[in-house]
């Protein structure tokens, strides 16, 4: 994904490889400021995102569910990264509407001329203070999801223990677990990660047999952190990352739950299945040397989910 060290962009991390055991370890986010207090005027924030990035998708979901489009504008990077990392066209749907840069690392150079860190999305920029807010998706989801006077509170105080418990399990074993499987360098590391993925899916499947959403009868932050992984599972992770013990559609409750969320226009508008395939099947020496994008799978997300009428599911 590219990295900057002392303000210089590198195609790959030039630091020694720490994955001697074959395990994939995600770098920690480096920009973690808080949203400013008080009234937030329309157009104040600008989000750098990519359609195929699940971490950016989390923030796009919150933006849509909370109705924050007037507060947060968006620049979408092109689906396939290049040696320059996330890049933009001069104009069109994949152009940068804020700084008119051609590559995301040019925005990171504005953070600090000697910036060191990964060049990732999402990145939220405060246009009033002309500085970044955060490039940690979990922080952005919580901060934006609890903004008052803007749609539902996605992390109400009474639900926080339950939300945090789900987040703490789902992130390492499933959200990041698929990457641990896909980027593993040894058979043992791959099998450990893959088992974590499906044990977590099994646990959620059982829970959803008697709960419409993760924390009961209303959508919360926990659902919006889970959904991006589910939306990419059958079209990308099952094949590209070898998470192929089962498919999402093999889980009756999870598949119904995913379609239940997808049926909401706000959520559906953030989904781009074909873009996911284009991104996850980008040319990769280790995973997809020829860069061929598969035609399948043929999955109908429009099939009625019927979860709102199920007597076994709380509403």
Residues taking part in catalysis: 53, 179
Say if residues 116 and 6 touch (Cβ distance below 8 Å): yes
Beta bridge partners of 284: 288
d(CA 119, CA 126): 18
Angle at 199 between CA 262 and CA 204, to 5 degrees: 35
Q: C-alpha distances in angstroms, 145 versus 50, 63, 65, 137, 191? A: 20, 8, 9, 11, 35
d(CA 309, CA 311): 6
Residue 129: how many CA atoms within 13 Å on its side-chain side?
14
d(CA 19, CA 83): 22
Say if residues 293 and 278 touch (Cβ distance below 8 Å): yes
């Amino acid at each position: 994904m590219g990295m900057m060290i002392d303000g210089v962009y590198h195609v790959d991390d030039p630091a020694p490889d720490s994955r001697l055991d074959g395990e994939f370890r995600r770098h920690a986010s480096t920009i973690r400021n808080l949203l400013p207090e008080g009234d937030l005027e329309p157009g104040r924030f600008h989000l750098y995102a990519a359609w195929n990035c699940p971490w950016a998708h989390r923030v796009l979901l919150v933006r849509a569910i909370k109705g924050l489009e007037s507060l947060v504008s968006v620049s979408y990077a092109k689906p396939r990264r290049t040696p320059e990392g996330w890049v933009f066209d001069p104009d069109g749907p994949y152009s940068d509407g804020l700084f008119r840069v051609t590559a995301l690392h040019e925005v990171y150079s504005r953070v600090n001329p000697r910036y060191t860190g990964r060049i990732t999305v999402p990145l939220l920029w405060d246009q009033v203070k002309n500085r970044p807010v955060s490039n940690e998706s979990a922080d952005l989801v919580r901060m934006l999801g609890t903004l008052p006077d803007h749609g539902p509170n996605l992390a109400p105080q009474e639900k926080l223990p339950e939300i945090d418990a789900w987040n703490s399990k789902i992130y390492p074993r499933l959200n990041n677990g698929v990457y641990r499987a896909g980027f593993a360098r040894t058979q043992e590391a791959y099998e450990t990660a893959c088992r974590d993925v499906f044990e977590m899916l099994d646990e959620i499947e059982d829970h959803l047999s008697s709960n419409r959403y993760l924390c009961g009868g209303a959508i919360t932050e926990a659902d919006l952190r889970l959904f991006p992984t589910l939306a990419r599972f059958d079209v990308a992770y099952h094949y590209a990352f070898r998470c192929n013990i089962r498919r999402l559609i093999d889980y009756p409750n999870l598949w119904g739950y995913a379609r239940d969320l997808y049926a909401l226009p706000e959520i559906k508008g953030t989904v781009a299945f074909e873009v996911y395939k284009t991104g996850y099947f980008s040319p990769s020496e280790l995973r997809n040397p020829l860069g061929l994008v598969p035609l399948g799978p043929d999955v109908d997300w429009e099939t009625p989910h019927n979860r709102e009428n199920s007597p076994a599911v709380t509403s």
